[in-house]
Amino acid sequence: MEINLFSDTVTKPTPDMLQFMFKAKVGDDVFKQDPTVNELEETLADLFGKEAALFFPSGTMANQVAIKINTQPGDELICDKWAHVFLYEGGGAAFNSGVSCHLLDGTRGMITAEQVAAAINDPENIHLAKTSLVCIENTTNKGGGACYDFEELVKIKEICQQNNLKYHLDGARLWNALVAKKQHPKAYGELFDTISVCLSKGLGAPVGSVLIGSKEAIKKAMRVRKLFGGGMRQSGYLAAAGMYALQHHISRLEEDHKKAKDIAQLLTRMPWTDNVEPVETNIVIFTVKAPITPTQLMQKLKEKNIYISDMGQGKLRFVTHLDYKQVMHDYVLEAIERITF
């Protein structure tokens, strides 16, 4: 039995999801003739209280299109130093949009309104890049699935309004935050100009993210998606997986969160762990005590058919997900407890 806790992107469609996909009504989505894609977009726009939405093959493309439509070449966006849009999207902000990133030293991937206000360049100073966008990631990936305090997000919004800045949410794992904090999507819809949500992580769909915003923003996004090569034809089969996930896989995220907390609690008791970061959702990030190395621990886990990821800088990561069943969880806990150096 191989247990892959490398990421929540490793999940496969459930049998019921596959049946739902098989029965989907499809058309050519490039011409907006795919009824299932249209339904998914309308459902998510309504869920967040926004005017429109657009289906994408990946969260990276959705984020990059959001940056493109909210900036001009030569502009600057503000984000945390660990933000996915900066670290893990291949330099896309610079390559696709010609914008630079002003990186803030947040706490576990989360920045504050005070930091944002201090980072905004004087728009009258021609020597400085024009600040035009603030990007937030919730939950934070490298921050260990941490959830923003909603009031801080409101304060950042006020700073954006005062300075005529756009406000984008990378919500790749927003579903986890909504469940953990018992929040409603419409609260986020009221705050952000654009929101990307992923269907292929916690919700377990095989492919897909959706960008949500105003009609004007999504009209621009359609053109840029075409430019980036993101138009798909009978993508209703993929959108159907997203529809099924929205209907069946949101509330069960609590199970993933509980399992992650179980792992974290056990790790804190192990003599070979150095630090275990607080767990709010489905990600556990920790370090091991020297002279033990991350590679040595990963090898011991691999020998037990348990796979986790190395985040660099000595940090290791477990990510719980839909395919991580209770029997696997029991085995992992037992295996961790038996590891010695």
Measured CA angle at 166 (ends 163, 171), to 5 deg: 135
Q: Are strands 283-288 and 315-319 parallel, antiparallel or unpaired?
A: antiparallel
Average pLDDT over residues 81-87: 97
Cis link prior to 291 (omega < 30° from 0)?
yes
Please say if the pLDDT value at position 21 is more than 90: yes
Q: Per-residue confidence at 1, pLDDT binned at 50, 70, 90?
A: confident
Percent of the chain at pLDDT above 90? 99
Sequence spans of domains, the chain: 3-8+252-338, 15-248
Name the helix (H) or strand (E) containing 179: helix 174-181
Collapse the DSSP code of 156 into the 3-class scheme (helix H, G, I; strand E, B; otherwise coil) and give the result: helix
Average pLDDT over residues 68-81: 98
Mean pLDDT value across residues 312-325 = 96
What mean pLDDT is predicted for residues 36-47? Answer: 98
Helix (H, G, I), strand (E, B) or coil at 286: strand
Give the contacts of 119 (CB within 8 A, at least 6 positions apart). 78, 102, 104, 131
Residue partners of 33: CB distance under 8 A and separation at least 6: 27
Q: How many CB atoms lie within 10 A of CB 308?
A: 23
| pLDDT above 90 for 99 | yes
User: What average pLDDT does this structure show over 162-176?
Assistant: 98
Residue type (1 letter), 24: A
* pLDDT score at 279: 98
Instruction: Domain 3-8+252-338: give its CATH architecture.
Output: Alpha-Beta Complex (3.90)
271-300: average pLDDT: 97
- pLDDT tens-digit profile of 52-64? 999 999 999 999 9
Secondary structure of 222-250 as H, E, C letters: HHHHHHCCCCCCCCHHHHHHHHHHHHHCC
One-letter amino acid of 286: F
Q: Rg for the chain (alpha carbons), in Å?
A: 20
- Identify the pLDDT of residue 71: 98
- Cis upstream peptide for 139 (omega within 30°): yes
What's the chain's average pLDDT?
97
pTM: 0.96
Residues 112-151 pLDDT 10s: 999 999 999 999 999 999 999 999 999 999 999 999 999 9
Residues facing residue 38 across a β-bridge: none
How many whole angstroms separate alpha carbon 324 and alpha carbon 310? 19
Share of the chain above pLDDT 70, in %: 100
Q: What is the pLDDT of residues 210-247, one digit of tens each?
A: 999 999 999 999 999 999 999 999 999 999 999 999 99
Coil vs helix vs strand at 284:
strand
Backbone φ and ψ of 78, nearest 5° = -110, 130
- CATH number for the domain whose boundaries are 15-248: 3.40.640.10
Extract the tokens encoding 4.
């892959």
pLDDT at 98: 98
